[in-house]
A and B are shown apart, each in its own frame.
Chain A
Amino acid sequence: MVKINKLFIENSFAFVLLALFIIVPLAVGENADIHNIIIYILIYALVGEGWNLISGFTGQTSFGHAAYFGIGAYTVAVMGNKYDVVPWVGMLAGMLIAAALAFLINYQLFRLKGHYFAIATLAVSEILRTIFSVWPYVGGGDGIKILFRPENKALWLAIDVRNRLPFLYITLALFVAVFVLCKMLENSKMGYYWKAIRESHEVAEAIGINPQNYKVYAMMLSAAIAAVGGGLYVQFFKYIDSYVFSLDVSMIFVLVTVLGGIGNVYGPIIGSIIYYVLDLAMRRLLGGTASGLNLIIFGILIIVVVVYQPKGIMGIFDDIVNRRRLRKLKASQATTNASSNQTGGDSK
């Protein structure tokens, strides 16, 4: 009982968020628009969590996560359309293919460091985009349209356009699963090793970590999570073409995580809420007169975040909490100092 209480107190922020995500869709009634928005927020946040593993925790910036997102989406679409495979199985297959691809590519790619690695990941997704745009098996330039066959209604999770609640809650459940996984990883040996690699390659090696292996593990997990996001996305959007591999899509996952807080499990979800709501509002308000302005504003926003608070919005929260804690500490120290009439105090 005490343990459960502690769990709630330590993660109160997560539980408040979860409660909001459960209640808000019900509260707005049959408002498909709001449901749409929440589903997109959750999908982007889910992939953002994946991106966070490799780029936030392990410090290897990837600009090519659209590759794994796209693989997940295409796997579900192709298997469902051509072979009537249930999307759950399709998503699992997508995860495995994405992880295998991540292993094959990155085992060599991790010889590169920093910016060079980032550029190489970008190249990977661009190569996939070119291949998928001419490969007839996956629809080539036309892409794949998810077919709805009435006799096979169980095949697609998100087939009913008017009622999105079931799909919304499926997405939410998967996001929660990914979130919990990331949180557990952060506090495990793996998480500590990833962070050590991020902070210093040499130290990691000197304390017995094989950086190559742990980076590959991070990338494989990250790719598998991105593939889940892709699988959800294609079922919801019901159409996929090679655009899904483009830099624009990769950048969404970078944006939501960097905005919310890189290297923080809460980052992607907070960032995703802000990103998608802002993006949609600007597109709807300015779409006719000043289309493209939203991209400019996001560019500026990212510059502001990176310059003033590299840890994103969660960084601002953390600062506030820390400052309050420090003030309390100082106040208590001041009282003890006054009573014992000693000098010193702050030992920093």
Chain B
Amino acid sequence: MRNIIEIRNLTMKFGELIANEDVSFDIEHEHIVSLIGPNGAGKTTLFNCVTGFYKPCSGQVTYYPEEDNKIDITGQPTHKICKLGITRTFQIVKTLSEMTVEQNVMAGAFLHTNRTSEARELARHILEQTGLTQKRDELGRNLTVAERKRVEIARALATNPQVLMLDECMAGLNQTEIKDVMNLILKLKDSGQTLLIVEHIMEAIMPISDKVVVLSSGKKIAEGSPQDIANNDDVIKAYLGEKYHAKSKKS
């Protein structure tokens, strides 16, 4: 097992506000690593720092596309990072609304080809994989939230990433839809995809993760297997608050 991304001492400040403080963890090859934490913990900021949307104030992000190939991607522009093989989705879905579902995915597929026919072929393959074939000719703006989140994943997949980063791809979905996305994620993992997932829904994220990293107020407070995290005192405290944590201890 090798690391594909190493995040070291990452700090991001907005003025006086510290969004991420000294965060370090690794993402292992062909594993699902999830990033959880209460609202405002700095999960999306961390995402943005890794994918180049923000330039971190200090710290380093290193990417290993191959075993002995090391690239420092700290503060690189987003499109370069994407070309290297790290693609993200957005928490607030950004469907290309005046384009059809197929065109949305094709826009991603053009990263590795210049020919429209090849891009279309790849897009159709990915639509099949993500269960969107039926909606192929629908305009982006006519989709439901669940479909948009799916398009978001499909578009990112079309760039053929080594590491796929999903930002709250299940928020706002119902139980069945969450199950569908969980299955999709597991299917991707089986095909050798490395994933970093930010998620709020514990029931969905715990069963599929290989490793969970917990952020609270910008700091990493725990890291480990889902079982360890579920029983971790600090994590429970961060989620429930000191008062309720104390109460739960008493009973």
Interface residues of A (CB under 8 A from B): 187-189, 192-193, 195-196, 198-200, 202-211, 263, 347-348
Roughly how many angstroms separate A30 CA and B96 CA in the complex, as a whole number? Answer: 50
Chain A residue nearest to B88 in the complex (CB)? A206
Within 8 Å of chain A (Cβ to Cβ): is B155?
A: yes
Note all chain B residues with C-beta closer than 8 A to A202: 53, 90, 94
In-complex Cβ contact of B107 among A188, A207, A210, A348 (8 A): A207
In-complex Cβ contact of A196 among B83, B107, B142 (8 A): B107
Scoring B89, B111, B113 by chain A CB atoms within 10 A of each residue's CB, the highest score goes to B111
Note all chain B residues with C-beta closer than 8 A to A203: 90, 94, 96, 107, 155
Note all chain B residues with C-beta closer than 8 A to A189: 110, 113-116, 119
B 83-131 contacts with A by CB, 8 A: 83, 87-90, 94, 96-99, 103, 106-108, 110-111, 113-116, 119
Pair A207/B82 contact, Cβ less than 8 Å: yes
Roughly how many angstroms separate A205 CA and B48 CA in the complex, as a whole number? Answer: 12
Chain A nearest CB: distance from B143 CB in Å?
10
B 56-97 contacts with A by CB, 8 A: 77-79, 82-83, 87-90, 94, 96-97
15 more contacts with CB within 8 A, not counting A202-B53, A207-B107, A208-B108, are: A188-B116, A189-B114, A192-B103, A195-B96, A196-B96, A196-B99, A199-B97, A203-B107, A206-B89, A207-B108, A207-B159, A208-B111, A211-B79, A263-B98, A347-B134
Pair B78/A192 contact, Cβ less than 8 Å: no
Pair A192/B110 contact, Cβ less than 8 Å: yes
* 20 A-B pairs in the complex with CB atoms less than 8 angstroms apart: A188-B116, A189-B115, A189-B116, A195-B96, A195-B103, A199-B94, A199-B96, A203-B90, A203-B107, A204-B79, A205-B53, A205-B82, A206-B90, A206-B156, A207-B82, A207-B107, A207-B108, A210-B77, A211-B79, A263-B98
Chain B nearest CB: distance from A110 CB in Å?
14
Chain A nearest CB: distance from B133 CB in Å?
13
Within 8 Å of chain A (Cβ to Cβ): is B34?
A: no
Note all chain A residues with C-beta closer than 8 A to B77: 205, 210
Given the known interface contacts A195-B96, A195-B98, A199-B97, the answer about A207 and B119 at a Cβ–Cβ threshold of 8 Å is: no
Chain B nearest CB: distance from A94 CB in Å?
29
Note all chain A residues with C-beta closer than 8 A to B53: 202, 205
Pair B156/A200 contact, Cβ less than 8 Å: no
Note all chain A residues with C-beta closer than 8 A to B110: 189, 192-193
Pair B134/A207 contact, Cβ less than 8 Å: no
Chain A nearest CB: distance from B107 CB in Å?
4
Interface residues of B (CB under 8 A from A): 51, 53, 77-79, 82-83, 87-90, 94, 96-99, 103, 106-108, 110-111, 113-116, 119, 134, 140, 142, 155-156, 158-159
Chain A residue nearest to B106 in the complex (CB)? A192
In-complex Cβ contact of A209 among B79, B88, B103, B119 (8 A): B79
Given the known interface contacts A206-B90, A210-B79, the answer about A199 and B99 at a Cβ–Cβ threshold of 8 Å is: yes
In-complex Cβ contact of B116 among A187, A195, A211 (8 A): A187
Q: Which 3 residue pairs of A and B lie closest in terms of their CB atoms, listed nearest first?
A: A208-B82, A199-B96, A205-B78
Pair B107/A193 contact, Cβ less than 8 Å: yes
Roughly how many angstroms separate A202 CA and B94 CA in the complex, as a whole number? Answer: 8
Scoring A196, A198, A207, A208 by chain B CB atoms within 10 A of each residue's CB, the highest score goes to A207
Roughly how many angstroms separate A149 CA and B63 CA in the complex, as a whole number? Answer: 69
Chain A residue nearest to B143 in the complex (CB)? A348
Chain A residue nearest to B152 in the complex (CB)? A203
Pair B94/A205 contact, Cβ less than 8 Å: no
Pair B116/A207 contact, Cβ less than 8 Å: no
Roughly how many angstroms separate A187 CA and B89 CA in the complex, as a whole number? Answer: 25
Note all chain A residues with C-beta closer than 8 A to B99: 195-196, 199
Roughly how many angstroms separate A188 CA and B51 CA in the complex, as a whole number? Answer: 27
Scoring B78, B99, B106, B114 by chain A CB atoms within 10 A of each residue's CB, the highest score goes to B78
